[in-house]
Amino acid sequence: MRVPVTFGQYVPAESPVHSLDAKTKMGLVAAFTTAVFLVDGFPGLAVMALGVALGLRISRVPARIALRGIKALTVLLSFTLIAHALRWNPATVALVRLGPLAVDAGGLREGVFFVLRVVLLVVGTSLLTLTTTPVQLTDGLERVMRPLAALGFPAGEVAMMLTIALRFIPTTAQEAEKILVAQTARGARFDEGGPVKRARAFVPVMVPLFVNLFRRAEDLAVAMESRCYRGGEGRTRLNASAMTGRDWLVLLSVAAALIAVGVVL
Amino acid sequence: MALVARDLGYTYSAGAEYRIEALRGVRLTLERGDLLVIAGVTGSGKSTLLRLLAGLLEPGTGDVEVDGDAPRSRVARGRVAIVFQNPESQFFAETLMADVAFGPRNLGIDAAEDVAAAALASVGLDPVAYGGRSPFTLSGGEARRGAIAGALAMRAPYLLLDEPTAGLDDSGRRDVLAAIGRERATSGVAVVTHDPDEFLGDATGLLALDAGGVVFEGDVRDLIDRPEGYLAAGLRLPDVVQAQVLARERGAVIDRVELQPLAAARVLAQARRAER
Amino acid sequence: MIELRDVRFVYPGARRPALDGVSLRVEPGRTIGLLGPNGSGKSTLVRLMNALLLPTDGTVSVDGIDTGDDASVWTIRSRVGFVQQNPDNQIVGTVAEEDVAFGPENLGVPPAELRVRVDDALAAVGLTGLERREPHLLSEGQKQRLAIAGALALKPSYLVLDEPTAMLDGAGRADVLAALAALRARGVGIVHITHHLEDVLGADRVIVLADGRIAYDGTPVELVGDPSRAGSLGIDVPPIVVLADALRREGIAVPRDAVTAEGVVESLWPS
Ligand SMILES: Nc1ncnc2c1ncn2[C@@H]1O[C@H](COP(=O)(O)OP(=O)(O)O)[C@@H](O)[C@H]1O
Ligand SMILES: Nc1ncnc2c1ncn2[C@@H]1O[C@H](COP(=O)(O)OP(=O)(O)O)[C@@H](O)[C@H]1O
Ligand SMILES: [Mg+2]
Ligand SMILES: [Mg+2]
């Protein structure tokens, strides 16, 4: 047995949020995003934050994990804040002055508002990826995209592509690790020299990785053809997911509440 | 002067909830001229053992010494060469020669190309005819030998091979076995396999693993006296040995087990005549 | 029946045909072992059997349907299951049962029947209980049996396998061989490409290809009983057969069909 390679962000747990259909959660994320952009004041943000906290609570996902996504954005967020708050020689009264540089009260407020909005969006939408497996996500996506098929959009094919990508991410990761170790054994060094030298050191890893990927793609095409794959049309599904009454109830009531908050506050 | 492992153990993801004890309590000595066969089913820890011996993993318990030095030390760099499973899936260079020369060049060996040419010759690939070819156009057996040459070019006194004949046709397999046989004249060789048949005839020792633990170690011929652990590990006795074991169970008197089919036939025929 | 009549196949741009003058029949419930050195045309031959390739000359038909008949290509592919060497490269689903369902899903089989087919196919290869397992968490032998189950879910009459045991260890190989033996008993016709004569000692027939032509067509026992013939075909006779042969030369009668350790010892010391 190999150690389960977890990718994506799914946090396994039994919760009312986990058991919602992926399509329901996608609908909720859409409503949430719309609401966050409709909100134009701090009270609105506060209500939204409360909602997200409640969602986290019900889903049993540790807040620590939900907040992880923010870390990656620290630089960007700090920059946003500074860009809004700092003014060059403002005519208005400033909070703090440092030579020609000044921190402007209105700007600061605006910056904080933007930052909080982004944080809310990131944490709120991550509730979807934290409680839904990648497989459920692609399945849901396929269903959501299906109406587009009428317009000629290859919804089935896109979903198949995503499924295959998901299927081969762990395999490719295992393969990359194998090649890395093998080339290390042949004396390759990945930790010496400047950035250019380091990047070059990865050529003996990337080349075989890609060669093998292409070979795999060829085999896979043959395997799919042999098993009668001929596009998304007319395919049935073993585990077709369906929205239940509970899903509809949750979707409609929560979405309505979110939009209402967005419009009012 | 030997490659020595003492009480060697390793656990993946040590400390984590899903840690896997892949190896424990292995000791072995590999000297130049030895051919050690390491057997075990998938997941028994064979590859982990090779990685530890080659210094690609830091031992969890116990230690490894290569001619008296730690394999990860600077002085020991390049003393242990290793050929992974399906090594031909790691080719990257435009020519076979450049690929084979990759190792020696990394080690700073002068005239890496000459060393590479010699390595190609020693696996039975003419460096002139094959050196300039793209490694991606070689046939199964040629590619495997080319990849093995890549390890031989490291000029290491110890050579570890993980399933070197898997997936080859009979002629490819014979070529690889011949190359390994030649290499053994100057190096200590350890071969991981799940089909010990092909190597047992020449092996100087056998180490069988099951779920990370040693279930048999010693001379191959001793297998007939204590095959329990080996068999319980899901390994198959080579048919030639199995025939002698069965014969003995049915009352034949066999003192010394033979590993080669012709010698084994003599033993069985003799036992049969002795009964008359 | 799969029938090849005087088939020649030339890859586009190739100078020599990959197959030339090949005629053979695959019958339901029978196993053919297909051997031959690398490049002798084995993979090409089996790809002709499920319309992945079409013959340059000659004809290939499956239960009377010509593989060149465009309208019947999906019928042919569902009658002739195809399994390749590397199990990792042919598993499409993200969990075992979804991979098995892939074939019949493509045919539009209704969900209720899909479930039955998936469960049957997994049971046939001994993978019941691993329905929700992700492929990369299966052993190589399990993955290859999963690939076989994926072919079986199409309810094929024939199964062609291109070196299905080449990447497996002894245990995985034994499991796959056992699964194939069970399928033969159920009436599936099997073409099994391998490099190991041992793998197909139990086959009804062994065919050896050389340079795109059939160089040997007979029973496995006949082949191992004639080591010099096998040698000239580039096939290594299993050590136990060499042993049996040496016993015969010592004047001990060992039947020709004794090709296992048990068989040989049985003839010397009957139990
Ligand atoms: N990189 C890894 N991370 C976690 N577990 C591993 C890793 N490599 C191997 N293992 C586990 O360690 C055990 C021994 O594996 P390995 O040494 O590869 O065995 P073998 O070569 O005999 O098949 C197995 O349970 C395997 O799943
Ligand atoms: N896609 C291809 N294009 C051109 N030539 C090919 C192709 N596939 C195989 N060949 C050639 O056809 C011959 C038979 O190959 P193949 O059927 O793969 O043999 P085997 O499976 O016995 O190793 C070989 O000479 C090979 O090089
Ligand atoms: Mg291994
Ligand atoms: Mg082939």
Rounded to the nearest angstrom, the distance between the alpha carbon of C212 and the centre of ligand 2 is 10
Which whole number is the average pLDDT over B55-68?
A: 94
pLDDT beyond 50 at A203: yes
pLDDT beyond 80 at A168: yes
Distance CA A72, CA A208 (A): 31
User: Hunting for tokens 């040989």 — which residue is that?
Assistant: C264
Cβ of B44 below 6 Å from ligand 1? yes
CB contact C210 to A (< 8 Å)? no
pLDDT beyond 80 at A89: no
Distance CA B258, CA B260 (A): 6
Distance CA B22, CA B14 (A): 11
Instruction: Transcribe A244-263 into DSSP letters.
Output: -HHHHHHHHHHHHHHHHHHH
pLDDT beyond 80 at C205: yes
- From chain A, pick out residues whose CB is under 8 angstroms from the CB of C97: 238-239
Which whole number is the average pLDDT over C101-110?
A: 94
- From chain B, pick out residues whose CB is under 8 angstroms from the CB of C260: 239
Determine the residue type at C240. I
For residue range B143-170, list pLDDT tens digits in order. Answer: 999 999 999 999 999 999 999 988 888 8
∠ at Cα B268 (B264, B270), nearest 5°? 115
- The pLDDT value recorded for residue C246 is 92
Residues having CB within 6 Å of any atom of ligand 2 = C 11, 14, 18, 36, 38-44
- Are B150 and A1 an interchain contact pair (Cβ–Cβ within 8 Å)? no
Residue B200: its H or E element: helix B197-200
- The pLDDT value recorded for residue A2 is 40
- The pLDDT value recorded for residue C54 is 96
Rounded to the nearest angstrom, the distance between the alpha carbon of C46 and the centre of ligand 4 is 9
CB contact A135 to C (< 8 Å)? yes
Most confident of A195-199, C90-94, C159-163: C159-163
Rounded to the nearest angstrom, the distance between the alpha carbon of C18 and the centre of ligand 2 is 6
- The pLDDT value recorded for residue A129 is 86
Q: Is residue C104 one of the residues assigned to a domain?
A: yes
- Are C239 and B251 an interchain contact pair (Cβ–Cβ within 8 Å)? no
Pocket test for ligand 1, best of B13, B48, B193 (most atoms within 8 A of CB): B48
- The pLDDT value recorded for residue A4 is 42
Q: Please, what are the domains in chain B?
A: 3-236 (3.40.50.300), 238-276 (no CATH)
CB contact A187 to B (< 8 Å)? yes
Q: Is residue C230 one of the residues assigned to a domain?
A: no
Ligand 1 atom nearest the C-alpha of B48 is: 17
Cβ of B42 below 6 Å from ligand 1? yes
- Are A237 and C105 an interchain contact pair (Cβ–Cβ within 8 Å)? yes
Q: Is residue C265 one of the residues assigned to a domain?
A: no
- From chain C, pick out residues whose CB is under 8 angstroms from the CB of B197: 239
Quote the minimal CA–CA distance from A43 to chain C in Å. Answer: 44
Ligand 2 atom nearest the C-alpha of C36 is: 22
- From chain B, pick out residues whose CB is under 8 angstroms from the CB of C139: 42-43
Distance CA B141, CA B88 (A): 10
Confidence of residue C140 (pLDDT cuts 50, 70, 90): confident
- Are A181 and B154 an interchain contact pair (Cβ–Cβ within 8 Å)? no
Q: Is residue C240 one of the residues assigned to a domain?
A: no
CB contact A242 to B (< 8 Å)? no
CB contact C113 to A (< 8 Å)? no
- The pLDDT value recorded for residue A90 is 66
Which among B268, B202, B211, B199 has a CA at the least distance from the CA of B238? B199
The structure's pTM equals 0.83
Q: Is residue C238 one of the residues assigned to a domain?
A: no
β-bridge pairing C189-193 and C31-35: parallel
Pocket test for ligand 1, best of B20, B41, B210 (most atoms within 8 A of CB): B20
Q: Is residue C40 one of the residues assigned to a domain?
A: yes
Ligand 1 atom nearest the C-alpha of A2 is: 27
- Are C94 and A163 an interchain contact pair (Cβ–Cβ within 8 Å)? yes
- The pLDDT value recorded for residue A92 is 67
Percent of all residues in chain B with a pLDDT value above 70, rounded to a whole number: 99
Which whole number is the average pLDDT over C7-11?
A: 97
Which whole number is the average pLDDT over C16-23?
A: 96
Q: Is residue C250 one of the residues assigned to a domain?
A: no
Which whole number is the average pLDDT over C136-164?
A: 93
Largest separation between any pair of C-alpha atoms in chain C: 64
For residue range A6-45, list pLDDT tens digits in order. Answer: 445 677 788 999 999 999 999 999 999 999 999 988 999 9
Quote the minimal CA–CA distance from A115 to chain C in Å. Answer: 37
Percent of all residues in chain C with a pLDDT value above 90, rounded to a whole number: 72
List of chains touching B (3+ CB pairs within 8 A)? A, C
Distance CA A1, CA C138 (A): 7
Give me the residue from B13, B56, B105 closest to A184, CB to CB: B56
Nearest CA to ligand 2 atom 5: C11
Strand partners, B206: B37, B218
Q: For residue C112, what are the domain limits? A: 2-220
CB contact A211 to C (< 8 Å)? no
φ/ψ of residue C31, rounded to 5: -115, 130
For residue range A90-120, list pLDDT tens digits in order. Answer: 666 667 777 777 777 788 888 899 899 989 9
Instruction: Give the CA-trace dihedral at A7, A12, A17, A18, to 10 degrees.
Output: 80
Residues 6+ apart with CB under 8 A from B85: B47, B162, B163, B166
As for the ipTM of the complex, it is 0.89
List of chains touching C (3+ CB pairs within 8 A)? A, B
- From chain C, pick out residues whose CB is under 8 angstroms from the CB of A220: 89-90, 92
Which among C35, C46, C45, C41 has a CA at the least distance from the CA of C234? C35
Cβ of A1 below 6 Å from ligand 1? yes
pLDDT beyond 50 at A5: no
Which whole number is the average pLDDT over C20-24?
A: 96
pLDDT beyond 60 at B93: yes
- From chain A, pick out residues whose CB is under 8 angstroms from the CB of C92: 163-164, 167, 220, 223-224, 227
For residue range B222-261, list pLDDT tens digits in order. Answer: 888 888 889 888 888 888 989 999 999 898 888 888 888 9
pLDDT beyond 60 at A1: no
- Are C170 and B252 an interchain contact pair (Cβ–Cβ within 8 Å)? no
- Are B102 and A188 an interchain contact pair (Cβ–Cβ within 8 Å)? yes
Rounded to the nearest angstrom, the distance between the alpha carbon of B212 and the centre of ligand 1 is 9
Quote the minimal CA–CA distance from C105 to chain A in Å. Answer: 5
- The CATH number given to whatever domain includes residue C137 is 3.40.50.300
pLDDT beyond 80 at B276: no
Residue B243: its H or E element: helix B239-249
Q: Which ligand is the nearest neighbour of the Cα of C138?
A: 1
Which whole number is the average pLDDT over B12-39?
A: 89
Determine the residue type at C250. E
